[in-house]
Structure 1
Amino acid sequence: MALAFAGLLTSAAAAHAEPRKVILDDDGFALAQWMVIKAPNVQVLGVTTVTGDAWTKEATADALRGVEIAGRPDLPVYTGATYPLVNTEAQTERWEALYGKLVWKGVWMKHWVEPTLQKLPPYHGPDVVPDLPQGNPTIKAQQERAADFMIDMVHRYPHQVSIIATGPLTNLALAQRLDPEFASLAKELVYMGGCLNPRQTRPDEVAHQFAREFLNAPRREFNIRFDPEGASIALRAPWARITMIPVDPSTDTELTPALLKRLSRSGTPVAQSLKTREPGFPLWDEIAAAVWLDPSLITQKAELYVDVNSQFGPSYGDILSWTPGYQPGLGEGKTIVVQKIDVPRFEDLMDRLVAAPQKPLSGKPLP
Structure 2
Amino acid sequence: MTHRVVLDTDIGSDVDDALALAVLLGSPEVDLVGVTTVYGDTALRARLAARLARLAGREVVAVAGQREPLSGRDVWWAGHEGGSFDDLGDEPISAGDGVDFLVDTVRSAPGEIDLVAIGPLTNVAAAVRADPRFAGALRHLYVMGGRFGHAPDGGPGPRTAEHNFRSDATAAHLVHAAGIRSTTTGLDVTTTVRLGRAAVDRIGAAGALGAALRAEIQRWWRFTGEQGNVPHDPVTVLTMLVPGLFEFARGTVSVDADDGSSTFTAGAGRARVATAVDAGTAATTMIDRIVTAGR
Question: Would the TM-score normalized by the shorter structure come out above 0.5?
Answer: yes
Residues 128-148 of structure 1: CA distance to partner in whole angstroms, max 9, x if unpaired? xx6530453443222221111
Q: Distance in 2 between matches of 1:159 and 1:356?
A: 29
| Residues 76/195 of structure 1: CA separation in 2 closer, same or farther (3 Å cut) | same
Q: What residue is the counterpart of 1:304 in the other structure? A: 251
Q: Distance in 2 between matches of 1:188 and 1:234?
A: 13
Q: Is the 8 A contact 1:301 1:339 kept in 2?
A: yes
Q: What residue is the counterpart of 1:180 in the other structure? A: 132
Highest relative contact order (Cα 8 Å, sep 6+), 1 or 2? 2
Q: What residue is the counterpart of 2:30 in the other structure? A: 42
Q: What residue is the counterpart of 1:22 in the other structure? A: 5
Q: What residue is the counterpart of 1:64 in the other structure? A: 50
Q: Distance in 2 between matches of 1:197 and 1:291?
A: 18
Match of residue 264, structure 2, among 321, 342, 350: 321
| Structure 2 counterparts to residues 117-266 of structure 1, below 5 A | 121-122=78-79, 132-137=83-88, 138-197=90-149, 219-239=160-180, 241-266=181-206
Q: What residue is the counterpart of 1:283 in the other structure? A: 231
| Stretches of structure 1 lacking an aligned partner (at least 5 in a row) | 1-15, 90-104, 108-120, 124-129, 200-216, 326-332, 360-367
The DSSP-based 3-state class of the residue aligned with 1:303 is strand
Q: Distance in 2 between matches of 1:66 and 1:301?
A: 32
Post-superposition shift, 1:286? Answer: 0.9
The DSSP-based 3-state class of the residue aligned with 2:282 is helix
Match of residue 350, structure 1, among 261, 286, 294: 286
Q: Is the 8 A contact 1:249 1:338 kept in 2?
A: yes
Q: Partner letter of residue 269 of structure 1? A: A
Q: Partner letter of residue 57 of structure 1? A: A
Q: Partner letter of residue 339 of structure 1? A: T
| Structure 2 counterparts to residues 82-121 of structure 1, below 5 A | 82-89=67-74, 106-107=76-77, 121=78
Q: Is the 8 A contact 1:163 1:188 kept in 2?
A: yes
Using the aligned pairs only, state the percent identity. Answer: 26
Q: Partner letter of residue 322 of structure 1? A: T
The DSSP-based 3-state class of the residue aligned with 1:106 is coil
Q: Is the 8 A contact 1:50 1:168 kept in 2?
A: yes
| Stretches of structure 2 lacking an aligned partner (at least 5 in a row) | 12-16, 152-157, 222-227
The DSSP-based 3-state class of the residue aligned with 1:190 is strand
Q: What residue is the counterpart of 1:270 in the other structure? A: 209
Post-superposition shift, 1:336? Answer: 1.2
Q: Distance in 2 between matches of 1:218 and 1:260?
A: 34
Q: What residue is the counterpart of 1:341 in the other structure? A: 277
Q: Distance in 2 between matches of 1:289 and 1:237?
A: 21
Q: Distance in 2 between matches of 1:198 and 1:322?
A: 9
The DSSP-based 3-state class of the residue aligned with 1:244 is strand
Q: Distance in 1 between matches of 2:86 and 2:272?
A: 38
Structure with larger Rg: 1
Post-superposition shift, 1:33? Answer: 0.8
The DSSP-based 3-state class of the residue aligned with 2:191 is helix
The DSSP-based 3-state class of the residue aligned with 2:119 is coil
Q: Distance in 1 between matches of 2:205 and 2:294?
A: 16
Post-superposition shift, 1:324? Answer: 2.3
Q: Is the 8 A contact 2:7 2:36 kept in 1?
A: yes
| Residues 153/301 of structure 1: CA separation in 2 closer, same or farther (3 Å cut) | same
Aligned residue-pair number: 274
Post-superposition shift, 1:176? Answer: 0.7
Q: Is the 8 A contact 1:61 1:136 kept in 2?
A: no
Q: Is the 8 A contact 1:151 1:182 kept in 2?
A: yes
The DSSP-based 3-state class of the residue aligned with 2:260 is coil
Q: What residue is the counterpart of 1:295 in the other structure? A: 243
Q: Is the 8 A contact 1:27 1:55 kept in 2?
A: no
RMSD over aligned CA atoms reads: 2.2
Scaled by the length of structure 1, the TM-score of the pair is: 0.69
Residues 314-356 of structure 1: CA distance to partner in whole angstroms, max 9, x if unpaired? xx2111332227xxxxxxx632111211122112212221222
| More displaced 10-residue stretch of structure 1: 137-146 or 180-189 | 137-146
The DSSP-based 3-state class of the residue aligned with 1:255 is coil
Scaled by the length of structure 2, the TM-score of the pair is: 0.85
Q: Distance in 2 between matches of 1:131 and 1:274?
A: 12
Q: What residue is the counterpart of 2:224 in the other structure? A: none
Q: Distance in 1 between matches of 2:126 and 2:26?
A: 29
Post-superposition shift, 1:358? Answer: 6.0
List structure 1 runs of 4+ shifted beyond 4 angstroms. Answer: none
